[in-house]
Amino acid sequence: MKVVFFSGGLASFAVSHSIKDEKPLLYFTDTLWEDEDLYRFIYEVSDKLKLPLLIHSMGLDPVELMIKQHIVFNSRMGNCSTYLKMKVASDYIKKGKVPLVEKWYNKQYLQGELKFDDLYFGIGYDEFHRVGAIKHNWKPFNAKFPLVENMFDYDELLKLYDIRKPDMYIKGFVHNNCKGRCVKAGKGHFKLLYNEDRETFEEIKMIEHYLSIYVGAYHWLKQEEGTEHFIEYNQSEMLKWHKSKYEYKPDLHYAWGQNFNSILKNQQIKQIGKAQDKKITLDLFGNDDIGGCGCFVDYD
């Protein structure tokens, strides 16, 4: 059976269209941190192309993973992609290990047994540098990249199936991942998020603020004897805070007064907010790119 790694983006949608007559399985690994409209899109593509959709998740979102791993992810360490997407997919396809959360949609379109052969990725010629690593990571399966040699007009494809473009693209983002909260994105990306979705921008600024305090305190306390109960208590408090959608403020009483600085983008995000308020132009090139993570490249 052929599998399309369906990210909820336009490229993987085009790949799904290109091989729909071969009845592939649409496979989506959910970070549980996606834009609400992404789910509308993946279900609609499954409906209109009449293809089965399998959704897998580890049951954690990136913030919960950072709390459990005691680190704030950054441009050089995107463990959310490694664990929540790549590990989930690799464990299932290579080892047959079903993750904590499994959801089928349009399973009636499934044809044949779940024995995988060819794996399809929405990688175009502009991302050709990712092809070699993906092929290596997915041996012995045959990784294929239809968009490297074939170009599609995404807008025309959307019209063909009468599917509305995902909201993230309408807002100007280059991908439809994690509601614009990608830890690997540059300043240009967060500038766009500031302009298009101020609520989400302020949300991740607050998340990073508290995570930075928690992570710094954890590593500081880990060196001290007799602090295990403090560590366990504050991890549970952080998870409680996150599950309550950031309304609950954890009492990290031992951390207050300590000078723990952000290791991700706290200062960067603050600078973007100040620059926008003062109408200062940010450099959108170089380190200020608008991209995000490249899944399935660094995973071994």
Query: What domains sit in the chain, N to C, each tagged with a CATH number?
Result: 3-59+80-173 (3.40.50.620)
Token duo for residue 85: 């997407």
Mean pLDDT to the nearest integer, 109-118: 92
- How many whole angstroms separate alpha carbon 244 and alpha carbon 246? 6
Mean pLDDT to the nearest integer, 47-54: 98
Percentage of residues in the chain having pLDDT higher than 90: 55
Q: In this model, does residue 248 exceed pLDDT 60?
A: no
- How many whole angstroms separate alpha carbon 240 and alpha carbon 248? 8
Cα 133 to Cα 50, 55, 69, 299: the distances in Å are: 31, 24, 26, 9
At 91, is the pLDDT very low, low, confident or very high (cuts 50, 70, 90)? very high
pTM (two decimals) = 0.83
Among 37-41, 112-116, 223-227, which is the least confidently predicted range?
Answer: 223-227
Q: Judge whether 29 and 296 are in contact, CB under 8 Å.
A: no
pLDDT for the residue 212: 82
State CA 76 to chain mean position distance: 15
Between 253 and 85, whose confidence is greater?
A: 85
Mean pLDDT to the nearest integer, 68-76: 86
pLDDT for the residue 130: 85
- How many whole angstroms separate alpha carbon 5 and alpha carbon 11? 10
- How many whole angstroms separate alpha carbon 122 and alpha carbon 140? 19
- How many whole angstroms separate alpha carbon 12 and alpha carbon 85? 15
pLDDT for the residue 245: 62
Q: What is the mean pLDDT of the chain?
A: 83
Among 110-119, 257-266, 277-286, which is the least confidently predicted range?
Answer: 257-266
pLDDT for the residue 234: 74
- How many whole angstroms separate alpha carbon 52 and alpha carbon 111? 9
At 287, is the pLDDT very low, low, confident or very high (cuts 50, 70, 90)? very low
Residue type, 166: P
Measured over the CA atoms of residue 276, residue 248, residue 176 and residue 186, the dihedral's sign is positive
Residue type, 88: V
Residues in contact with 30: Cβ distance below 8 Å, sequence separation at least 6, in sequence order: 55, 56, 57, 84, 101
Among 188-197, 238-247, 251-260, which is the least confidently predicted range?
Answer: 251-260
Cα 203 to Cα 94, 179, 199, 200, 286: the distances in Å are: 37, 12, 6, 5, 26
Q: In this model, does residue 238 exceed pLDDT 90?
A: no
The separation between the first and the last C-alpha atoms of the chain, rounded to the nearest angstrom, is 23
Helix (H, G, I), strand (E, B) or coil at 133: helix
